[in-house]
């Protein structure tokens, strides 16, 4: 939890997308959790404009309570520690990219 707080609250040049989802996915090579195409698309489209921080709800269940996450996956955008946008539930990757890009451009 502390590492998540530091990621969203420290002063930094980039907004932070907090990605909250269960890691109940098959492990990929190298021991890292497999990422969905939506997450990979967001990284590719917005990687130089936002910092993406993944949170495993299985390992850190308090995150869902702290940020009042009602549905997974959850994408929460923070700017200087303040939540400025959120989407909960599944979403098409292109639509997610457009929504995040629009919000980041308006900051």
DSSP code at position 29: G
User: Over the stretch 26-62, which tens digit does the pLDDT of each residue have?
Assistant: 554 544 554 578 888 998 988 788 988 888 888 888 8
User: Over the stretch 7-19, which tens digit does the pLDDT of each residue have?
Assistant: 666 556 778 888 8
Given a cut of 60, is residue 91 above it in pLDDT? yes
Domain boundaries, the chain: 2-106
Instruction: Measure the CA–CA gap between 76 and 73, rounded to whole angstroms.
Output: 10
User: How long a stretch of residues is the chain?
Assistant: 107
Nearest to 76 by CA among 96, 49, 95, 61: 96
pTM: 0.80
Using DSSP's 3-state secondary structure scheme, residue 50 falls into: coil
CB 74 within 8 A of CB 100: no
CATH 3.40.30.10, domain 2-106, yes or no: yes
């Amino acid at each position: 939890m502390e590492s998540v707080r530091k990621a969203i609250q420290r002063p930094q040049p980039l907004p932070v997308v907090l990605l909250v989802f269960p890691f109940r996915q098959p492990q990929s090579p190298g021991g890292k959790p497999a990422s969905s195409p939506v997450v990979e698309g967001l990284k590719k489209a917005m990687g130089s404009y936002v910092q993406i921080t993944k949170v495993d709800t299985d390992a850190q269940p308090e995150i869902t309570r702290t940020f009042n996450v009602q549905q997974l996956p959850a994408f929460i955008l923070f700017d200087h520690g303040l939540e400025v946008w959120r989407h909960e539930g599944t979403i098409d990757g292109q639509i997610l990219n457009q929504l995040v890009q629009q919000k980041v451009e308006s900051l």
